[in-house]
Structure formats: structure tokens, C-alpha cells
Structure 1
């Protein structure tokens, strides 16, 4: 954890979830209420089809709701896309940009990710900018080089500690059940902290850096206790309220 930085536990549902799944969001909205919510933020990013109803279910809860992606333009002839303004109009407060699955499946570049983050800021959304190396880059000992490039090119000048979160997601660890060691995570997060501070000064020092990649209730405590890890971006384990809340409640002991 980083001193004086409020942790964030975020869930990315990806292309999962129907109306039946809203019972999980309702349970999460109820489960994050309590004293811990005064110290730790909780966020779920469901598919766009559930966004508005999810925000309605969490109206009286500390649980925040966000989008999984946004277009870089506010509106226009972009069939199938969703703008940051549309997410805000559904009362979403966050949006994930630059996830490795978007970078790979849709050939998104650092510069496009940067434009999407700027669009999020213009709509008063907090952008979660994802960075991380592939297995090939890791094997070639290029992890820090990749992180440096992605941070420099993907984080816009409009970024502050209030409107931007960085999520380190090693591509080779996403959905594989394989996680880097705590030492590997510590090295990567310390490097990113130094880069963000060099670029943004105090804003970079206070910016939240999440770890993502096969985070589960069984390994959350070890990962989230690492220095400069300010929470988690969770994939599959965020689909079920019991798993998500178990990870969220790790902070009950970490912050005791």
C-alpha cells in the first residue's frame, strides 16, 4: 500500500452478465456498506447493457459503477461504440481504458488509449488506464521498458490523482491462474510509481496503482500488501459477490 492513498478494489466483468447477474451487484452493494467503506473504494464495471440498472441498484451504497471502455469522441457515427458521456449519463463514475484485451483484440495503441482517457476526463469520469507486458516481452526482460513506454504514451496531461488510476495487468497473468511473485509485483509498481512521480510530480506520487491478473481471495492479501499496490482490478473473481467481497475485506486486516 501507499501511505495516504485510498485503496480501490475494482471488478471488470468483461463480456459477462445478464439481468440475472444483477443479484450479484445487489449483494455487493449491500456487502460494501459499513466502516470499511470509509477507507476503501469499491467499483464494479459491468457490461454496458447493465450499466444503468447497476447504478440504480447501488444508489444508496458506497459501491461505484463504471464502464469497460469508451470511444475517444463524445458522439458521432461510430456504430456499436459508447462514449464517456453516455457512461456518465447512466451515472457511471469510472471507465477502464487500454485493457490488454482491447489493445490485442482491437489493435488499440497507446495514443488511442491516451485519447480515451482524455475523453473520460472531459466527461468527469475517472479513467483506469491499464498497462502490462506480454509473455514474450517478459521473457525478453522488457517489462520495465514496456511499462515506461505505455505510461509515457497512454497517460494524458490531464491526469491527476483524482481522475486517473493505473492498473498493472501483466498480460500473461490475465485469466491464466498464474500470478507474478510478490517481489515481481513490487519491482513493477515501484518502477511505475517513480515514472508517474517524474512525469506528474505530487499527483503521480498519490495516484493509485492497482494490480490485476488472476487476483483471487486466496492470493489477494499477499498481493495487496505489497508496497505501492493500492488495490486490485479483478476479473473472474468479481463476478460473484462472495469472492469480490472477500477480496475487498482483505483491507479489514491490512488497515487495522
Structure 2
């Protein structure tokens, strides 16, 4: 079966009650037909209100979760709390969490496992820095990050995971991987999944691209055989996100 196109919007630490209400109303008014999965990730403070306000087929994701379900971990939220809030998705391993907050591959894998065990669906992010790309180790870096996750979960868990390839050098920079560059990495990741997990998982798992995606470049990127959608940053805060959400492979 063809993989269903997936468009995620990561608001990061942006937005207010008023601006996010406008975004949600725009998505609701767009009356998306459900041919693509569309998931938005507001800051944690707004998760419950957004989940209550947004209409199907749009769903909601948390931007992060902790590796424990409860306890003395000031400032964190757990997978169980995300689920309790009626939020079905969580983004884990985003490059900003890895670089700014020092989430290791192993910590990301622990988070993924606990989230999956809790019944959440996961957008698992991986990606190389500009220095790593220039060193020619793009494949090794992405496979290392994905290997930590693969080692922590059973094969059956992959049905609830979307892999987001986000080259760090393209996030928020205005630089976008060319269609050829993105397709090359996505194909490499799919081949790796086939060997490391199973051909069935490789065929079914959606691998999406993130890194300065806009309404202007999304149609061309979507034509690539192994690009199954996008994780959108800055453009998810703008009206053009509706257009990106309608992108067809």
C-alpha cells in the first residue's frame, strides 16, 4: 500500500493564545480532506486548548517528553500526561533538543520507547550538522541516531513511528537540501531499515523531510520517491501552512 503523506507543523517556542487560535481557525476553515495526515505541535502550555479546538483530520503533538512518567522533574512533561491530555503524538529527538539540551542518542531512544509503550505515536527526528555533511559522514550519523531507537523497540512499534530527517544545516536557515540530496538520504535510510529491521518496516515507515520547507518548495520535494511528507518549522506559523498541508506526493 502507498504510504500516506504526512505534514507536521512544529511551532517551537513561538506563538500566543491569539496567534495560535488564528492558526487553528485557518486549518479548521481549510476543511482538509484527510488525504494527508496533518499534525501540529504548539508549545506545551497550549496543547490542551489546541487539542480541544482543532478539528479532524488535524491532530496535535507535544514537542518533547521526559523519560519518566512522574516524579521530581521540574519543568518536564511525561508521555502519560501527554496521553491524558488527549494528545496522540509527540516529537522526539529534534536537533534543537539534541544540541541545546544535550539529549543523547540513548536518551532519545529511551523517550521513544516510553512514548510508544504509553500508546503515543512518535515523530522521531534525526539529522546531520553541516560539519558532519562536509566530512562525508551523513549516512553514519543518521544511521547511528536511528540505531539507538531500533535497539530500544520491537519491530511492531515501527507502525507508530514517523522518521523525520532534518539536516541541521537547513533548519531555520533558509537553506534547503536539494531534492536530490534529500532523496539520497531518505533512500539510504529506507535501505538501512530494510536491513536492520525488516523490508516490511522499511516499505511502510514514513520518512519525512524537515528544513526550511515552504509552500514554494514543498511540491518539488514531494515528488521524490522516498520523501513521505514534511516537518515544517517557521512556515507552520504562517497561512501558507495550509497550502503545504495539501501537498500531494
TM-score band, normalised by the shorter chain? over 0.9
- Cα 1:138/1:32, change in 2 over 3 Å: farther
Alpha carbons 2:79, 2:115 under 8 Å: kept: yes
- In structure 2, the residue matched to 1:9 is 7
Could you state the TM-score of these two structures normalised by the residue count of structure 2?
Answer: 0.95
- In structure 2, the residue matched to 1:69 is 64
Alpha carbons 1:30, 1:61 under 8 Å: kept: no
Alpha carbons 2:36, 2:246 under 8 Å: kept: no
Unaligned runs of 5+ in 2: none
* SS of corresponding position for 1:78: coil
Structure 1 distance, partners of 2:28, 2:73, is: 33
* SS of corresponding position for 1:162: helix
Q: Deviations over 1:140-183 (max 9, x none)?
A: 11101111111111343235342111000000000000011111
Alpha carbons 2:164, 2:209 under 8 Å: kept: yes
Alignment length (residue pairs): 245
2:211 aligned to which of 213, 228, 231: 213
Alpha carbons 2:176, 2:212 under 8 Å: kept: yes
Structure 1 distance, partners of 2:160, 2:179, is: 27
- In structure 1, the residue matched to 2:236 is 238
Alpha carbons 1:189, 1:209 under 8 Å: kept: yes
- In structure 2, the residue matched to 1:33 is 32
Unaligned runs of 5+ in 1: none
Could you state the TM-score of these two structures normalised by the residue count of structure 1?
Answer: 0.92
- In structure 2, the residue matched to 1:181 is 178
Structure 1 distance, partners of 2:48, 2:195, is: 38
* SS of corresponding position for 1:165: strand
- In structure 2, the residue matched to 1:133 is 128
- In structure 1, the residue matched to 2:105 is 110
- In structure 2, the residue matched to 1:88 is 83
Cα deviation, residue 32, structure 1: 4.2
- In structure 1, the residue matched to 2:114 is 119
